[in-house]
Structure 1
Amino acid sequence: MSEEKIVFTPQEAELVEKLKNRTYLDPRYDAAFKALLNDEAALVSFLNGVLHLAEKERIVKVEIRNPELNILFPETKSFRFDIRATTESGYGINVEMQKVSPTNFTERILLQHSAFVIQSKYEYDKKYKELFPLEPTEEQRAEREARRYDFPPTYAIWVCDFKIARQKGYHDVWSISNGEGLTVTEKIKYIMLDLSQFTKSEGSLENDEDRWLYLIKNAGQAESLPNFDDEVFADALRRIFVGNANKQLLKDQVNNMMTDDEHLDFIAYHTVEAKRKGHAEGHAEGLAEGRAEGRAEGRAEGRAEGLAEGCSSTLDAVREAGASDELMTRIKEILAGKEKLV
């Protein structure tokens, strides 16, 4: 769409004006994250950093692919990845920026990666099947058998702006292992990067992984950032510099910052949980106080106190999940009855 045809709604225009007071777009939102890394040189640098590859295994080239997958279940289920790429050696790479921890986060990772593996298998087989002869030789049949259930290595990299449960440190690797903890395949890996545990200052950055995570975590609030005397980093910073952003990038960024259906579902889930927990605790406390004091006021006071405690504990959980200040404000208003969830 041409720049002239892009129109901001009043809410979008208000957020755009706020963005213009900042130096960089915040890469913890999808639009700026893609602008930062959806470039071959930047992605190669980022992958070599976070995958901790040995020198002889370092990635030299990647092909950035269509990020949207459609899988039939039999109904079509669409998956839109932040960044999807294939390395020169055939590895499938998916890079995701996750601002808020959704309900059933682990299941979400597994479901999305299952679709990624299926797509990678389809692409792996497609060209081979097109060239397979109608009357294969014994060697060709043997090769087909070897490929029947084979698929390329697929790695998912999740950059999370919240505390990942049961993770110690900002970098962890999930893999498929047996009951003794031994890895049974190297073809599926999940690299989990926890920004809440990444606390390094500019002066303590040691490698490219540190440098990329530092930019991702701090760009949204920083007045200036280092380019580390590296043109790849310098180009990446130019792509998220607010003064360079075109209208489409600004529109995408502010829409990421606004409440969409996924955010509304997130709010609804935690609002319902707060009320359920509060009513349950309040009912128990109210009955106890009512029996002890023999008056209705005890039951009412107990229910009120329980609701307040339930709301408070749920807000703590939402905050730990990485909810933005805007989401936190809206949840508080809903719980207080000042706003309805629509």
Structure 2
Amino acid sequence: MATFEEKVQKQVEIIKQRTFLDPTLDMVFKKIFSKDVTLIHFLNAVLHPTEDRKIISIVRKKPASSLMSAIDTEEVRFDVHARLNNGTFVDLEMQRAWHEDFADRMELYADQLSIESKIHFDSQRTATERADHPYLMPTTYSVWICNFPVNFCESYHEELGLFRFSSIGDPDALPVYNKKRYIVIDLSKVDAKVLDLNTAETEWLELFTRMASAKAAPKTSDPIIADVYSRMKVSLHENNFITEIATGMVTEAEISTRIGTARREGKDEARYEDAEAFLREGDSIERVARVLKLPVEKVQELADKIKNAKQ
């Protein structure tokens, strides 16, 4: 059986045979949207704002947020978190695989986004404004790009909100609260017919569904899309970056396999066993905590235990 290092090296070789990096991978996704102009372009494409609400600037917000309870503290880490010039707050997430608590995760992230946004929103208001409208909330968008079939999506682009049950079946129904919005982009439902629409959004959809296997960049008159293809060429990136991508791919694949086995065998403690195994193989505390959905503090304790045992 191949060692972890051998699996990583094999994945590195596979990546180097491609023209472009896979935009659905965590590190690549974040690198794409590290440029403000790119994030602004994407959000204008998928949020469909009216002309007077077009996004022209953003302010990056901290990616990590602590969710505290009476018994534990869990870290919610946003992929891309920003405040827009129109006062809206956005969390942009890339999700590569379905899991049974996906809808709950969406709601948890949206709730935490609302709390973080409310705190910042109130910090920008006067004492009088806060006293007159203490519960006033800013608008938030939780945007999820999903590289798998989402069971509650009928189309490639679904916008969710708070509706009355009595409005079910009414095509003209409006949300009763329009400040907390969800957009789910289901890449599995993107086909040639969708791409033929030839909009800014569908150019992004083509990028997310075809770039990883493309031999050359598609013809486009959009300089932002062209820039992403140019920046994501495999040949432009150093070996260390590609190795880190490959390590993440192998780690997540093996962890997913172990989680599946553990669930079938009913071993909840297997996640901690897996965490220790991957830490011993040199994977980072943050990645193990994120993929195994364990508290960072617990994974840090395991890492300290391993380190002390070696001394």
Fold in common (TM above 0.5): yes
Instruction: Report Cα offsets for 1:234-280 as digits up to 9, x if no partner.
Output: 2211222111123453244223312348625642366459xxxxxxx
- Cα contact 1:98–1:161 (8 A) shared by 2: yes
- Cα contact 1:96–1:159 (8 A) shared by 2: yes
Instruction: Report Cα offsets for 1:279-301 as digits up to 9, x if no partner.
Output: xxxxxxxxxxxxxxxxxxxxxxx
Determine the structure 2 residue equivalent to 1:56. 52
Q: How many Å separate the matches in 1 of 2:116 and 2:240?
A: 29
Change in 2 beyond 3 A, CA 1:113/1:11? same
Give SS of 1:60's match. Answer: coil
Instruction: Report Cα offsets for 1:85-131 as digits up to 9, x if no partner.
Output: 11012211111111101112111110111111111112222344xx7
Give SS of 1:257's match. Answer: helix
Q: How many Å separate the matches in 1 of 2:209 and 2:199?
A: 16
Is 1:191 aligned to 2:183, yes or no?
yes
Deviation of 1:205 (Å): 4.3
Which of 98, 111, 130 aligns to 1:144? It is 130
Is 1:116 aligned to 2:102, yes or no?
no
Determine the structure 1 residue equivalent to 2:157. 171
Determine the structure 2 residue equivalent to 1:32. 28
Structure 2: gaps (5+ residues): 168-173, 267-311
- Give the total of aligned pairs: 255
Q: How many Å separate the matches in 1 of 2:180 and 2:240?
A: 35
Deviation of 1:224 (Å): 1.1
- Cα contact 1:36–1:237 (8 A) shared by 2: no
For 2:228, the aligned partner's letter is A
Change in 2 beyond 3 A, CA 1:95/1:183? same
Deviation of 1:201 (Å): 6.8
For 1:159, the aligned partner's letter is I
Q: How many Å separate the matches in 1 of 2:214 and 2:200?
A: 19
Which of 125, 141, 145 aligns to 1:159? It is 145
Give SS of 2:40's match. Answer: helix
Written as runs of structure 1 = structure 2, the 5 A alignment for 1:1-342 is: 9-74=5-70, 75-128=72-125, 132=127, 140=128, 143-181=129-167, 182-200=174-192, 204-226=196-218, 228-260=220-252, 263-264=256-257, 266-268=259-261, 271-272=264-265
Deviation of 1:186 (Å): 1.1
For 1:198, the aligned partner's letter is V
Deviation of 1:230 (Å): 2.2
Deviation of 1:73 (Å): 1.8
Identity %: 28
Give SS of 1:186's match. Answer: strand
Change in 2 beyond 3 A, CA 1:248/1:123? farther
Q: Given the two structures, how large is their TM-score scaled by the length of structure 1?
A: 0.68
Structure 1: gaps (5+ residues): 1-7, 133-139, 274-342
